[in-house]
Amino acid sequence: MANERQRHEEKNRKHTQVILDSLPYRIMVVNMDKTIDTVNQTFIKEFGLKNKNIRGKRCYEIRYGLNRPCKESRNICNLEDRIEEIRKEGIFSTIEDFTDENGETRFNVITIAPIFDENGKIVQILEASRDVTERIRLEHDAQQSNAFLQNVIQSAVDGIVVVDTKGNVLIFNEGMEKLTGYSADDIISSGHITSFYDIDTAKENMKRMRSDKYGPLGKLNPTSMIITTKENEEIPVTLTASIIHSIEGKEIGSVGVFTDMREILQMRKDLEEAHLQLVQSEKIASVGRMAAGVAHEINNPLSGILIYAELLRDNLKNDPQNLSDAQEIIDQTLRCKKIVAELLEFSRQTVGNVTSFHLEDMIDKSLNILVNQALFQDIEVKRNIAPKMPVMAGDMGQLQQVFTNLFINAADAIDGKGDISIIARFDNDKDLFFVTVSDTGPGIPEELREKIFDIFFSTKPVGKGTGLGLSISQNIVKLHGGRISVECPSRGGTSFVIELPLGFIGQPVEEPVFVGLDDE
């Protein structure tokens, strides 16, 4: 009977051993006295034991190659240090690192389970272990790659957004936070792509990505669109997007890169304006050169016409009808001479006689010429000139011409009835004089404000204005290193603002275009 039982137990042991040997894990069963009861073939093979009879050997000798217990070698002993945890939890699992014979760090995943007798007493422990070094390294590499990818996404200047197929935001980088004003936490936790992205536009872009008519299939070529910030500000952007697929090829989301176009568009606008200014400057310079030549050529014939017209008028004193015609010839000839004089003034490319003077004196002289004229009889001129302004340098005659022209324009704008305001001050920080000439007239239509400094452009009726006044004024101010601009407040009226520098340096004289023609 005893032999039968022994044979049965031996059969069970062999069957159990077959099962253990088939497992890919290293299996070791240890008695409570730290002797090995059994190990499987995986254990023998991986530890290079060459089928030695290791039953009864100490676990720390076979398992760790130690000549004394783990505790004495300052290592953890599973039997002594973890027995209570095993008894309570029933199982224990951990990852341990160690240094192999080549000095490389390797990792083992170790799972320990108790073996009980029929009385529920722990009589053995089973240790299953497996080398997971490659898996740990792969996970580490994946973590590093993921961290690198996250750093790339977060450090990108452009906004980057990743969404799932329902439009829920999964990634919202710092560039997108700055662009929209939303925080990543707000958008990812409770927001949606429609928080900043028009849903109809989103659907249209997804439709384009699913078609090969607008670029590579699954991708969206750079597309201009508008996004909305947290403060409801609309921002022009360029969107580049791609559909994200799973390993199985299923569509799982999309990624979009948003490039802020405000600075680029502003640069384009500035370049266009600079180009237009350059073209305008070239046009004005060309007209100025031509005007100088034409003015010189026609001045003498005009003088002759004027002399003979005056002689004709003197001979027609007894003929009122023809006398009136002769006077009209004289008036129109004088008008032509005035235009010629203005063309000569416009063609001047340098400042004339540079002197030092007080801005207030120059403004007063310009006003004194006009205030006694009939056009100014019903106009109230309000002066607000800052005291103790420094002395400025420039051609007082040219600048006086500028302000005289502005005062006359203001009087014409209010049709001789209303207020003209003159405000002058000096900015010590910028070393600039600021003079504002305002009227209470109807203002200048918005569509005409960019044209008023163009040569020959005038809002006055035909025969009343030549369109040279503001062009000449702008030219004179620029030659003095300043600038002139126009403002039309919503309340009405027009204000011309002139900026002039304190330290004026004259510009070099240009060579005459028409050689051989003397200035008159």
Q: Please, what are the domains in the chain? A: 2-136 (3.30.450.20), 157-260 (3.30.450.20), 263-347 (1.10.287.130), 353-520 (3.30.565.10)
| pLDDT exceeds cutoff 50 at 508 | no
| pLDDT exceeds cutoff 60 at 505 | no
| Per-residue pLDDT band at 509 (split at 50, 70, 90) | very low
| Per-residue pLDDT band at 514 (split at 50, 70, 90) | very low
In this prediction, residues 325-342 reach a mean pLDDT of 76
Query: 418-427 and 379-385: which strand pairing?
Result: parallel
Phi, psi of 122 (to 5 degrees): -75, 120
* Cα dist from 436 to 1, 115, 271, 325, 497, whole Å: 125, 100, 29, 43, 4
| Per-residue pLDDT band at 497 (split at 50, 70, 90) | very high
Among 216-220, 238-242, 302-306, 335-339, the range scoring the smallest mean pLDDT is: 335-339
Q: Which helix (H) or strand (E) holds 397?
A: helix 396-413
**Per-residue model confidence (pLDDT) at position 434:** 94
| pLDDT exceeds cutoff 50 at 197 | yes
Which pLDDT tens digit goes with each residue over 369-401?
Answer: 777 777 778 888 888 999 989 998 888 888 888
Token match 């093979």: residue? 45
In this prediction, residues 88-112 reach a mean pLDDT of 83
Which pLDDT tens digit goes with each residue over 248-298?
Answer: 889 999 999 999 998 888 888 888 877 776 666 666 566 656 666 666 567
* CA terminus-to-terminus distance, the chain: 147
| Per-residue pLDDT band at 461 (split at 50, 70, 90) | low
Cβ atoms within 10 Å, residue 374: 7
In this prediction, residues 434-452 reach a mean pLDDT of 84
pTM listed for this prediction: 0.45
In this prediction, residues 192-197 reach a mean pLDDT of 87
**Per-residue model confidence (pLDDT) at position 2:** 64
Angle at the Cα of 240 from the Cα atoms of 234 and 244, rounded to 5 degrees: 120
Q: What are the strands of the beta sheet with 251-260, ordered from one edge?
A: 169-172, 159-164, 251-260, 234-245, 219-228
Cβ atoms of 408 and 393 within 8 Å: the answer is no
| pLDDT exceeds cutoff 90 at 236 | yes
**Residues paired with residue 35 on neighbouring β-strands, in sequence order:** 58
Report how far residue 182's alpha carbon sits from residue 186's, in angstroms, rounded to the nearest whole number: 7
Instruction: Tally helices (H) and strands (E) across the chain.
Output: 14, 17
Q: Is the dihedral of CA 423, 426, 427, 433 positive or negative?
A: positive
Among 117-121, 122-126, 314-318, the range scoring the smallest mean pLDDT is: 314-318
**Per-residue model confidence (pLDDT) at position 437:** 92
**Per-residue model confidence (pLDDT) at position 193:** 87
Mean pLDDT of the chain: 81
Percent of the chain at pLDDT > 70 equals: 86
| pLDDT exceeds cutoff 50 at 516 | no
Of 345 and 122, the one with more pLDDT = 122
| Per-residue pLDDT band at 512 (split at 50, 70, 90) | very low
**Residues paired with residue 498 on neighbouring β-strands, in sequence order:** 435, 484
Q: In this structure, which amino acid lies at residue 397?
A: G
* Cα dist from 239 to 160, 175, 203, 209, 248, whole Å: 10, 14, 14, 12, 27
Cβ atoms within 10 Å, residue 37: 18
Contacts of 37 (CB under 8 A, 6+ apart): 29, 30, 31, 55, 124
Report how far residue 227's alpha carbon sits from residue 201's, in angstroms, rounded to the nearest whole number: 10
Which pLDDT tens digit goes with each residue over 129-172?
Answer: 888 888 888 888 888 877 787 777 887 889 999 999 888 999 89
Token match 């299953």: residue? 128
- Tell me the range of 21-25, 41-45, 364-368, 496-500 where mean pLDDT is highest: 496-500
Report how far residue 81's alpha carbon sits from residue 92's, in angstroms, rounded to the nearest whole number: 12
Q: What are the strands of the beta sheet with 92-99, ordered from one edge?
A: 36-39, 26-31, 122-131, 105-116, 92-99
Cβ atoms of 497 and 422 within 8 Å: the answer is no
**Per-residue model confidence (pLDDT) at position 350:** 52
In this prediction, residues 426-436 reach a mean pLDDT of 91
Percent of the chain at pLDDT > 90 equals: 11
| pLDDT exceeds cutoff 50 at 230 | yes
**Per-residue model confidence (pLDDT) at position 286:** 64
Tokens at residue 394, please? 């420039």
